[in-house]
Structure 1
């Protein structure tokens, strides 16, 4: 196996952490970005124990300048082959909170959408002159159709989907692959306190394995589990009232995020 340099944001938790472990091998250099210093140091050591070279950066993906500067500097040391924008948060509604408050909505957009853009933009600036590379954006099956329990999260992920789909054709002509990752329910701290049905839920390690296999094959869309993906695609073709009824489940409680938009109140 040839040496590869892989950038992963959101690497200190959830799917990002599992992806770091999935790619940790003697042949790989991992560039891991996260906000929690202790968890980031822990995953870095675990990956080094598996033989990987690791450079960790404690950076908030909402900080565009800091993240871009770090990515450009790391690419100058070892050119990035694969960049995975995985950082994300979730917020949602409950019986007593039927809509996302404005500050929560803006925080989700800042991390899940703009954090992905802040990651991919400098990675592409480095890859395009080389006319090679691969970028992956982690969306969600919730990006296929708005969930009443998490409208802001659905909005952010839908935008991530559209961004990945929109840039893919032009970048393909430049020799750069773009993959959209759309997982279903995965066991992560992100949904630990979620009170809702979570059909066909899988572990983060299993999700990381599916994602890696899809990326290794250069798949433009890596959506799983297939039955949920197909169901969500079908739902978008059905009358809106049916989708509203099916997804609007009483008793669902998605915790409100404590994050705020950078620069907000």
Structure 2
């Protein structure tokens, strides 16, 4: 049986949670945090073997788990998958966690255009497309929770990751706007803005990584914020406070601080 066809046939649970990017550090930690006998988890990841590993850990905690490895940037495949889910068991919580990063090889050089397009497709376009497909069913039901993963880099763009910063600023703005739009329909929206969380993607990023958190700690804070339907979940506090100031200070001052603190490093320099 294909991993894309592994759907639940059990009695509906009290909670259904959809997580994309479940093979990543934060996604995997979130899946395990939500895993319980009262939960049906729908986990998505492109790495099938890694996805099965996460699923088995969740099943050991009593969760019913369905898996998919579709290409989220394929409009037709995404629409078909989400339409099927909406008909079979519409998720209560949707965490659009799948994402990637890219950065310039050296100062003065832009990221390759193909990398830019791929990043924007998965970081920005896909979460918006997911909302387009799921919101009508959630609105008809009168409940649901959409969770978008931004980043503290969404407060002010970093020279080391310009396209990533743009994608995270974009999904932050979209989630904030959607929250007000959908609140009267009973649909909550939470924007998550993590700092540095230990992962292969984090390790590959150039520049300093202050106040780095393990993914389990990040997942605990995110789950708590989703449960409270918070508009924004941002952490850790010291880095969040500092990057927030980058958004409100005059741009020249913010850019001087970014360079002073070493966040303009690119390509390992």
**Is TM more than 0.5 here?**
yes
> Aligned residue for 2:7?
none
User: Secondary structure, in 3 states, of the residue corresponding to 1:236?
Assistant: helix
Q: Distance in 2 between matches of 1:99 and 1:250?
A: 16
2:245 equivalent to 1:252: no
Cα 1:28/1:3, change in 2 over 3 Å = same
> Aligned residue for 1:164?
175
- Structure 1's consecutive aligned runs of 4 or more residues displaced over 6 angstroms after TM superposition are none
Cα 1:254/1:171, change in 2 over 3 Å = farther
Shift of 1:93: 2.2
Q: Distance in 2 between matches of 1:235 and 1:102?
A: 27
Task: Map 1:84-103 to 2 at 5 A.
Answer: 84-95=95-106, 98-103=109-114
Which of 189, 213, 217 is the matching residue for 2:200?
189
Deviation per CA, 1:203-235, whole angstroms, max 9, x where unpaired? 111101100000011101111112222211212
5+ long unaligned stretches in structure 1: 256-265
Shift of 1:96: 5.3
Higher relative contact order (CA 8 A, sep 6+): 1
2:35 equivalent to 1:24: yes
Q: Which moves more between the two structures, 246-255 or 7-16?
A: 246-255
Deviation per CA, 1:87-117, whole angstroms, max 9, x where unpaired? 0000012435632222221111111001211
TM-score (norm 1): 0.91
5+ long unaligned stretches in structure 2: 1-12
User: Secondary structure, in 3 states, of the residue corresponding to 2:80?
Assistant: helix
Shift of 1:250: 7.5
Cα 1:245/1:75, change in 2 over 3 Å = same
TM-score (norm 2): 0.89
Which of 80, 87, 92 is the matching residue for 1:69?
80
Q: Which moves more between the two structures, 239-248 or 178-187?
A: 239-248
Shift of 1:202: 0.1
Task: Map 1:183-222 to 2 at 5 A.
Answer: 183-222=194-233
Deviation per CA, 1:166-198, whole angstroms, max 9, x where unpaired? 111120011110000000010012122233211
Q: Which moves more between the two structures, 55-64 or 175-184?
A: 55-64
Q: Which moves more between the two structures, 120-129 or 92-101?
A: 92-101
User: Secondary structure, in 3 states, of the residue corresponding to 1:5?
Assistant: strand
- Contact conserved, 1:93 with 1:99, CA < 8 A, in 2? yes
- Contact conserved, 2:160 with 2:263, CA < 8 A, in 1? no
- Contact conserved, 1:95 with 1:250, CA < 8 A, in 2? no
- Contact conserved, 1:95 with 1:251, CA < 8 A, in 2? no
- Contact conserved, 1:61 with 1:119, CA < 8 A, in 2? no
- Contact conserved, 1:193 with 1:254, CA < 8 A, in 2? no
Q: Distance in 2 between matches of 1:7 and 1:177?
A: 15
Q: Which moves more between the two structures, 52-61 or 122-131?
A: 122-131
> Aligned residue for 1:175?
186
> Aligned residue for 1:12?
23
User: Secondary structure, in 3 states, of the residue corresponding to 1:205?
Assistant: helix
CA RMSD in angstroms comes to 1.7
2:131 equivalent to 1:120: yes
